[in-house]
Structure 1
Amino acid sequence: MKLLLIGSGGREHALAWKFAQSKKVEKIFVAPGNGGTAIENKCENVNITDIDELVKFAQNENVDLTVVGPEDPLTKGIVNKFKKEGLKIFGPAENGAKLEGSKSFSKEFMKKYGVKTAQYETFTNVDEALKYLEICEYPTVVKADGLAAGKGVAICANKQEAEEAVKSYMVEDIFNGAGQTIVIEEFLEGVEASILSITDGKTIIPFISGKDHKQIFDGGKGPNTGGMGVLAPNPYVTEAVMKEFEENIMAKTLNGIKEEGFDYKGIIFFGIMITKKGTYLLEYNVRMGDPETQSVLYLMESDLVEVIEAALREELDKIEIKWKDGVCINVVLASNGYPGNFTKGYEIKIDEKVKDKVFLAGAKFENGILKTNGGRVLSVIGLGKDTEEARKDAYNNIKYVQFEGAYCRTDIGTHM
C-alpha cells in the first residue's frame, strides 16, 4: 500500500512510525512532514499543504489511503473533497468535524443528545457577554468558538480576568475570527483525562487513556502549552470512571453521530474531567491529540492500518485492538522561552544509547542535520511495567538527547 499522511507535528511522526511497521505498507508520503518523518523508515516528505493539490497528488501517485493528522484540513472539508474524487481517506467529513471546529456547535450537540457536560452560555455580542460576567459564578471558563491552535481557552479566577479574556477574543480578535463567538462555561474541578477513540459511525472503540501535562512548569504551574508530556494509561481512569464515560458520554455521542447522519469514519478524542460529582465531557477533538498519540501508539500492539481499514469498512464491531502491558510516558523537550519567544535552528543530537523512540515535532532535516524548528521540539519515550519504571526510563533517555536551550518538565507522570 501507498499511504498519504497529512500533517507536520509529533503526532504525525508517531503515526508514520506506526504505519511503517505494517507489512501492508510499502511507502508513506507525509505532507508536509517534519525532520522525524524525513528520516523515518518507508517515509518521504512532500511539501504540499493545499487541499486541492493534495487531491491531485493522491491521484497521480495512486495513493491507496490518506490519513489526516490535524484538525484544520478536516474542518475545511478535505474528506469531502477526497471522497468526491473516489479517493479513500480516513477522517470525519466536514459536518462531523464541526464537533471540534465550533465549540458552540459541539456544546449544542452535547445538550441535544444528553452528553454529560458543564453548563454554558454562548455569545456573539460582546456587551451581552460582559453583562453575563456580572452574574456567573467564579472561577469560570471562557472559550473561543473556532479553532485557536489549542490556545482559545481561559480559566478565569474572577470577573476582571474574564472581562480581559472576553475583550481579547471578541474585540481585539487575537484569534483572527475564531473568538467572535464565545462560550462561557461552568468551571469543573477535578482531573483531566484524554480518551482517544476510533469510530466507523456505528461503533466506537476507545484507546488506552492518557494524562496530558499542559502547563510549562513543574507542578502544573505557568502558562498552558500544547502539552509537555503524557502518561498512559491515566491512573485516574478507573474501571468505574470508564463505565461512567462509556454510558454518559461515549454511547450518547455515538447516538448523536447516527441521528445527525454524520459521515464519520475517523478518530474521536474525548477530553474528560473526572470530578467528585462524576465524569464530564470538556470537549471533542476530531483527530488524535499531541502529545497523547506518542504514548498511546507506543503501547498499541495491533496494526493501526488494519484497524483503520476495518473502520472504513464499518466493521469495527468485528475487531479487538491489542495493547502492550505496562506504562508509557513521553516527555516533551521544548525550546527555551516556549510558549513565548524562542530561537530556532539549533542542531539536535540523538545518541544511539537512547533505548526507546524519540518522536520529532518542531524539527527539520536540513543538509543531513536535524535542527530545531518549533517550540515543542520532540518527545522522548519511556516504557516500564509501572509509572515509576517508565519515568526512570524516559528521564534516562533524555540524557542522550541534546540541543541548545532544551527544556523539559521533571515531573511528567507524577500523579497530579
Structure 2
Amino acid sequence: MTQDIAALYAGHLDVLKQRADTALERAGLDHLVVPSGTLHYQVFDDRDYPYAVNPQFKAWLPLVRNPGSWLVYTPGQRPKLVYLQPHDYWHVVPEAPSGYWPEHFDVVVIRSADEAQRHLPKNATRCAILGEPQSALGQYGAFKPDNPPAVVDYLEYQRAYKTPYEIAMMREATRRGVRAHRAAERAFRAGASEFGIHLAYCQAAGQDSTELPYGNIVALNEHGAVLHYTELGRLPPKPVRSFLIDAGASHAGYACDITRTYSADASDEFQSMIDAVDVAQQKLCADVRAGTDYKQLHLDAHLALAAVLKDFGVLKVSPEEALAKGVSAAFFPHGLGHGIGLQVHDVAGFAASDAGGRIEPPDGHPFLRLTRVLEPGMVVTIEPGVYFIDMLLEKLRQDGHADAVDWSRVDAFRPYGGIRIEDDVVCTDDAPVNLTREEFANLG
C-alpha cells in the first residue's frame, strides 16, 4: 500500500509542477512561494485559534499541523520545503520529515519562523506568494502574500481535476467518515443526546473537532430543519423522532462530506419519505457524468424532490409548477452540492475558465456553489434535501402560494425537521464512482 501511495504521490507532484509552470508563465513570474500559515491569537488573550493549514500548501505536501513552514517551487528545479521544527518545551515539536514524500524535496530545517526568509528567493517581486497576510516575513513584510490573480485563478481552476493520489486520499477520508457515521447511528439508536452522538462520531473517526474538516451537524427532531445546526444539545428530546447527521473526516489534508437521515421508527411515514429521497439522490448521483451541466442537475433535483413531496401529499401542484414558482425552494433552499477535495467547499465552483470569469447560478437559486460542466476527475457532493422550515413556509404563504401546499401534511412532518442525504461522487470517462456508497457497502 505504501509503495502504491508513493507512486501515486510522485505522479501527483508532477501534475502540480506542470500546473505551477503554466501559472507562473502566465503571470510573468519566476517562483511559487507558499507559506503553510501561522497561528492566530485571540484578542486580549494568549490563546490561539485552531490552526488551519493553507490549502495551497497542503496541495503539495501531506502536512496539516506545521505552521511557519514554506514551500518554494522554481520551474526546472526540485521543490524546496522550509520546515519549521522549533526548539520548544511548551508544545510538541513536529517530527523530522519521513514517509513517501520527503525524497521529492530539498528539505531545510529551521528553528524559528524568522529564519525562513534566508531560504526563500532573494527577490520577492519575482515570486507568486500564495497565502494569508499574517504569513508575511522580513523587514517591512518583504515576503507578504500577494496572491496574483493569474496564478490563483489557474491553480484553483485546475484543482477541480483530482489526481489518482488525491482520489486515494479522499477514499481514506471516506473510510474514516463512514466508520464514524455507523458509530453515530448506533449511538442514536441507543438514545444518546446530540452531544453524545458527536462524541461517538469523533471517537470512531479518531479525530477531534479541530481535525475534522468542518463542524459536525448532529440534529435530532426539529433541529434537522436548521441547515447548519451545530449546537449539540446535552439531553435527548422526548420523544426522539428523527436524526440528521452531516459530518466528515480528513486524511492527509483531504476531506469527505457525508450526510444521512434516520427515523426513530423504521416503519413510520417519515422513514418512507427518507427512502424516497434516497432513491432520488442515487439517481442524481448516477448522472454525475462528463458533459453534465451541474446547474441542470440542481434543477433536476428540484423536480425530483417536488415529486417526492407531491407523492406524500405535501404539494398539491406539479413538480414543474413548484419549480417555476419557487415553491420547491421553500422545501429545498440550498444547492445540490459542491466540489470537494482539499477543502470541503472546494474552490473555483463558479469559474468560467482557468483565466477567471464567473458562471452564475440559475435565477432564484443563489445558494448553488457549483455551476461548471462536469468533467473527468472532478469530485462533487450530491446532497438533495427536504426540510420543514417555519420561516420559509411562512414566506411561501405571504408570497401567495399557500394553495400549493397541504398544510395539514406539513404539520405532520414538521416535528421531524428535515431530510438530507449526501454522497461524494467522482466524475470519470464512464460511470461515476460513488466513494461514499462504496465504503458503506464495504463496511456492511
| TM value normalised by structure 1 | 0.30
More strand by share: 1
More helix by share: 2
- Bigger relative contact order, structure 1 or 2 (CA pairs below 8 A, ≥6 apart): 1
| TM value normalised by structure 2 | 0.28
